[in-house]
Structure 1
C-alpha cells in the first residue's frame, strides 16, 4: 500500500510517484538520519519508491563517510563533499554539506567562501590538495594520472587517505547526479542549521 505526500506538502522532487510505507530496514535508515540531522533528507524521501536504492545508497554512504579506519578528519570529508557538490551545482547537497561544515568549523564565512570558490578560501596545503583532487574527480576523472596522487602524497596524505578521498568524491558525484536528475528539492532545515 502506498501513501501520497500529505495535501499541501511541498514536493520533494520532480517525480510524481506515490510514497510507499517504508519497510523496517528503510525506516531504520530514515530514523538514523532524523536522529543525526533532526530531519529526513528529501533525497531519501524521493527514492522511497525504490527501497533497494535507499538501502544501497545508505550502505555506500556509511562505507565511505563513516569508516572508523579512515584518518581523514570530518572537516576534510565535508570539504570534499562540498567541493564536489558545488561543482555539480546540486542544491540539496550544497546546502547539506555547507551546513555540516559550518557545524564542524563554526565559521560560516569560511564555508561560504569554500562553497563559492574554494580556491579563494584560506585552506591548508593538505586541504587544497584534497579539494583539487575532488574537483579533478568531478570534472575529468579520465584525465587523472599518477602525478595527481603525487601532489596528495606531497601534501602529507597516506595511501589509504587517498583511497578514502577518491571514494568520498566518487560517492558524492553519484549522489549529486541522482538528486539533480530527478529534481530533489533542498531541505530548508539544512540551510538554516549552524548559522
Structure 2
C-alpha cells in the first residue's frame, strides 16, 4: 500500500479546526486508526462537516433499514462504481454489523447469489438500478419495494444512500485515496 492518501493537501491534525480534529480523534479511538477518507476530506473543513453529518444522518439510524442493510447498499453500489476504498472500508463495517464474514465479498461480486433475504435482494436490485441506470427508474420499481414492506422513508433512505455514496465514490476516485490496511481483516478475524 502507498503512504499517499490523496492527490490533494492532507493537513496535520493539529492544524485542523478543533471540532474536525476531535471527530477524527474519536474515530481513531474507536477504530484504532484514522480511516484515510477522514484525512482526505479534512483539508476542506466545511465540506468535511457536511459530508460526515449527512453520512451519519443516513447510516447511523436503524429505522426502516437495519444498519447492516444500509452498508449492503454501500458495498453493492460502490462495487458497481468500482470504488475500492468504499467496498473495502464499508465491507468491513458490513461484516461486523451483519456478523457474517462472507457477505461483503458476495455483495461486491454478485448480490443475486449472496446470502441475503428476498427483501434485501429487492432492495439491492433497486439500489443498483438507481446507481447505474437512474434515468430508467419507474413507479413500478418503487412499487416492487413496497411489495417487500419498504415504506416511503425506507425507499427514500435507499435512494439517498445510493446518491450520497455515488458522490463519495467520485471524491475517492478524484483524490486517489486507498483503503487502510486494517479494513481488509475487520470482521474476518477476531479483534485483537
Give 1:122-141 correspondences, 5 Å limit: 122-141=115-134
Deviation (angstroms), 1:75: 1.6
The residue aligned with 1:189 is: 182
The residue aligned with 1:147 is: 140
**2-structure distance, mates of 1:33, 1:174:** 21
Deviation (angstroms), 1:115: 1.6
**SS in structure 2 at match of 1:113:** helix
The residue aligned with 1:53 is: 47
Deviation (angstroms), 1:51: 1.1
**2-structure distance, mates of 1:182, 1:73:** 30
**1-structure distance, mates of 2:115, 2:10:** 45
Aligned positions, number: 185
Q: Give the one of 97, 100, 107 matched to 2:100.
A: 107
The residue aligned with 1:6 is: none
The residue aligned with 1:10 is: 3
TM-score by length of 2: 0.89
Over the aligned positions, Cα root-mean-square deviation in angstroms equals 1.7
Q: Give the one of 26, 36, 39 matched to 2:33.
A: 39
Matched-pair contact (CA < 8 Å) for 1:29–1:55: no
**SS in structure 2 at match of 1:19:** coil
Runs of at least 5 residues in structure 2 that lack an aligned partner in the other structure: none
The 3 A distance-change label for structure 1 pair 166 and 44 is same
Moved over 6 A (4+): none
Deviation (angstroms), 1:18: 4.9
Deviation (angstroms), 1:32: 3.1
Residues 1:96 and 2:92 are matched in the alignment:
no
